[in-house]
Amino acid sequence: MTPLILHHYDISPYAEKIRAILGFKRLTWHSVHIPIVMPKPDLTALTGGYRLTPVLQIGADIYCDTKVIARRLERERPEPTLFPPGTAALERAVSVWGESIFLPLVTIGLAAGMFPDDFVADRQKLIPGGFAIESARRFVPSRLDHIRANLDLLEQQLADGRPFVLGDACSLADFSVYHPLWAMRATAISSGALEPLVHVRAWLERIAAFGHGTVEEINAAEAVRIARDATPESRRADDPGDPSRRRIGDPLRVFPEAYGRDPVAGELVFADAHEIALRRHDPRVGEVVVHFPKEGMVILPDA
């Protein structure tokens, strides 16, 4: 059986989202710890340049962004499901809302001095508009207002006794809201906002109780070897509803719209309404297929 390999680092909130999902689905996986800052030569050999965390590897198939990773893990183990019947659009809306807390938390962490100098210098290149400490300090009150307003809504949502955000069943929405709040505990400025929220804190404990599944540590060289020795599993399929009329074989570039805009170039091999996958070749890892969500990505011809 091809192992699930997660490329991540411990303090990444988005990696915690996937680690918690792996626990929820009771999966066994291999852990590769990657550098927090560039360069990340083993990771980018696999992805073609994408540098954000986390990345899921299954043989020679590489999954970038938690949206496409979550869908792949759902296929790996459909039960318990991340997508309870009748919740698809609501789950996505709540996930976007919950993850809106993440960037305000980055501002607070920067103002609190919790990031080392090399991390700040690296993110200066990653985030459009910069990553300035003095500017962050000015915006802390506004960011705390944003977080408080959202936490108040979540407290009200959970006050009727429901165990999870959308009701009786856990869903991807829970993990999308959970991981920014998991990160809130890292600074005194933000962690205090959780104290009066009885229902939110109880819900956080329920999600944390899923754990992280069964983990085996491996090194990056072993992950590269696994990719090199494997054949991509991805089937070839056009997206017949694609409004841009892309077709298998088209040369494309894909990069995140918000930040970390390092383009990945390759040949279109699979697409549907939610996902796009590019076949590419790297001297170290051989032929791989790199998967992205369509939402939140810019997809351009590689002319």
Q: What is the pLDDT of residues 206-246, one digit of tens each?
A: 999 999 999 999 999 999 999 999 999 988 999 999 999 99
Cβ partners under 8 Å of residue 196, min gap 6: none
- The pLDDT of 183-195, averaged and rounded, is 84
The enclosing domain of 145 has a CATH number of 1.20.1050.10
**What's the pLDDT at 109?**
86
Asked if 108 and 140 count as a contact pair (C-beta separation under 8 A), the reply is yes
Beta bridge partners of 256: 297
Q: In this structure, are 43 and 64 located in the same domain?
A: yes
What's residue 122's pLDDT?
A: 84
Q: Which H or E run includes 297?
A: strand 297-301
Residue 118 sits in the same domain as residue 75? no
Above pLDDT 70, what percent of the chain? 99
User: Are residues 187 and 92 part of one domain?
Assistant: yes
The domain boundary, picked from 192, 208, 224, lies at 208
Q: Could you tell me the CATH number of the domain that includes residue 297?
A: 3.40.30.110
pLDDT higher than threshold 90 for residue 189: no
Q: pLDDT digit string (tens) for 114-148?
A: 888 888 888 877 776 666 778 888 999 999 999 99
Which residues touch 299 (CB under 8 Å, ≥6 apart)? 244, 246, 252, 253, 254, 276
Residues 199, 244 within the same domain: no
Higher pLDDT, 109 or 263: 263
Residues 146, 220 share a domain: no
Q: Are 268 and 250 in contact (CB under 8 A)?
A: yes
Of the residues 185, 208, 231, the one at which a domain ends: 208
Q: What's the total number of domains in the chain?
A: 2
Q: What is the overall mean pLDDT for the chain?
A: 94
- The residue-averaged pLDDT of 193-200 equals 94
Q: State which residues form the domain around 62.
A: 4-80+215-301
* Phi and psi, residue 97, nearest 5°: -60, -45
Same domain, 120 and 175: yes
The answer on 219 and 183 residing in a single domain is: no
- Whole-structure pTM value: 0.95
Are 270 and 277 a contacting pair, CB within 8 Å? Answer: yes
Domain end residue (candidates: 183, 208, 233): 208
Q: Average pLDDT of 58-65?
A: 98
Q: Is 65 helix (H, G, I), strand (E, B) or coil?
A: coil
Same domain, 176 and 128: yes
**Which one, of 86, 11, 84, 71, lies nearest residue 272 by Cα?**
71
pLDDT, tens digit (0-9, with 9 covering 90-100), for 148-170 = 999 999 999 999 999 999 999 99
Furthest-apart CA atoms within the chain: distance in Å:
56
Q: Are residues 236 and 270 in the same domain?
A: yes
Cα separation of the two ends of the chain: 38
Phi, psi of 2 (to 5 degrees): -70, 125
Angle at the Cα of 98 (from 187 to 87), degrees rounded to 5?
150
Residues 40 and 102 both lie in one domain: no
Q: Is the model's pLDDT at 33 over the cut of 90?
A: yes
Same domain, 97 and 26: no
Residues 62, 92 within the same domain: no
